[in-house]
Amino acid sequence: MTRIVEAYIGEYASGKSENAVNRAIGLAEQGHKVTLVDLDLVEPVYTLRPLIPLLEEKGVHVIAWKTAETLGLGEAGSVLHPAMRWALKNEGDVILDIGYGAKGSAVLNLLEGVEDDPDFKVLLVVNTLRPMTDSVEKILAYLGEAGPADGFIANTHLGEKDTTAELMREGFAMVREAADRAGLPVVAMAVEERFRADFPDGIWEGVPVRFLRRYLPKGFW
């Protein structure tokens, strides 16, 4: 079985954590041994903290700071948790949720063994309805800042009330164009579970659709 090692990077509020959490739970449900790493060095423990019991219940091993282990949450910064530094050495799949404060993939050089891990992939999550990534040019510019990456996750949506299948498809087309120009694949199209009927084959234009369950509303910030 191929080992899956994926780091999710992207613009602030692009959907990195939701995609990473869904990926980790999805793999655990398929019987994989999975470690999920909350690699947010600016606001540690916030995003995933309330979800840790749920993740553990679903069989995901979580590496994240616990509130009691940290000081000066939010603005004092943080030191790298030793378990994060060695995260890639965990047996099984490793999913890394890269916090927005970290400068995209630049933070990944803190991980031991990152250069020679043959399975390691960096995935850039893009929501084309985020103003900083709402055109092909802006997506490519953001890739230049936050990259390098090995592929894209198309994650266009407008949240609970205003998302439509049409908007997601338009967003996908824009990400696809950016990916083509960057010479990278679109690894998946992320679609909220409630739109499953709009993508009955689970494939959109040759790209697998990942149906997302919404966990982050229970998360924090």
Partner 1 sequence: MATKPIEKDTNVFVTGNEVVAWAALAADAQIMYGYPITPQNEIMHYWTRLAPQHDRRFLQTEDELSAGFTTCGGVMTGTRAFTATAGPGTILMQEPITMAEMMRIPLVVVVQQRGGPSTATVIYSQQEVNLCCYGGNGEGFRVVYSTSGHQDLYDYTIKAFNTAWKYRVPTIVLGDGYQAKMREAVTMYDPASRGIEMEPTTPFVGAEGCPGVDRDPRFYRNTYNTEEELLDVVNDLKAHYDSFKDEVIEYEESDIDDAEIVVVGHGVVSRACKEAVKALRKDGFKVGYFRPITLRPFPEKQLAAAVEGKKCVLAVESALGQMKRLMTDGLYGMTVPIEEYFKPGKGVSAQELVEKVKSMMD
Residues that bind partner 1 (CB under 8 A): 12-13, 43, 73-75, 127, 129-132, 134, 157-159, 161-162, 221
Closest CA to 182 of 129, 123, 140: 140
Task: Reduce the DSSP state of residue 184 to 3 states and report it.
Answer: coil
Radius of gyration of the chain (CA): 16
User: Nearest approach, Cβ of 175 to partner 1 (angstroms)?
Assistant: 15
Least distance CB 55 / partner 1 (angstroms): 21
- Closest CA relative to residue 123, chosen from 206, 213, 22, 41: 22
Amino acid letter at 20? A
For residue 63 the two structure tokens come to 């590496």
Q: What is the smallest separation between the CB atom of 169 and partner 1, expressed in angstroms?
A: 16
Residue nearer to partner 1 on the CB measure, 86 or 220: 220
Cβ closest to partner 1, residue 34 vs residue 216: 216
Beta pairing, strands 120-126 & 5-10: parallel
Give the nearest distance from C-beta 168 to partner 1 in angstroms: 12
Cα-Cα-Cα-Cα dihedral sign, residues 75, 53, 92, 22 = negative
The alpha carbon dihedral of 65, 112, 215, 141 has a sign of positive
- 83 versus 132: smaller Cβ distance to partner 1: 132
**Tokens of residue 1, six digits:** 């079985």
Give the distance from CA 139 to its chain's centroid.
16
131 versus 183: smaller Cβ distance to partner 1: 131
End-to-end CA distance of the chain: 36
Please say which residue, 145 or 180, places its beta carbon nearer to partner 1. 145
Closest approach, Cβ 163 to partner 1, in A, equals 8
Nearer to partner 1 among residue 46 and residue 120 (C-beta): 46
CB of 170 to partner 1, least distance (A): 12
- Write phi, then psi, for 71 (nearest 5 degrees): -130, 150
- Beta-bridged to residue 190, according to DSSP, are 210
